[in-house]
Amino acid sequence: MDENIATLATAIGSRVKHERLTRRMTLDQLAEAAGVSRRMLINVEQATMNPSVGTLLRISDALGVGLPDLVQSPEPKAVKVTRTGEGAVLWSSEAGGRGILVGGTEPPEVVELWDWTLGPGDEHASEAHTSGTKELLQVQQGTVTVGVAEQTFVLEVGDSVTFPGDVAHSYSNSTTELARFSLAVFERGVGSGHREANDA
Query: Where in the chain are the domains?
Result: 3-76, 88-187
Is residue 124 within 8 A of residue 91, CB to CB? The reply is: yes
What's the whole-model pTM score? Answer: 0.74
Closest CA to 126 of 53, 35, 51, 44: 53
pLDDT digits 0-9 by tens, 113-171:
999 999 999 999 999 988 899 999 999 999 999 999 999 999 999 999 999 999 999 99
CATH of span 3-76: 1.10.260.40
Q: How far apart are CA 44 and CA 16, in angstroms?
A: 8
Q: How far apart are CA 62 and CA 44, in angstroms?
A: 14
pLDDT over 70, % of the chain: 92
Candidate from 39-43, 104-108, 169-173, 195-199 with smallest mean pLDDT:
195-199
Fold classification of 88-187 is Jelly Rolls (2.60.120)
Q: How far apart are CA 86 and CA 102, in angstroms?
A: 7
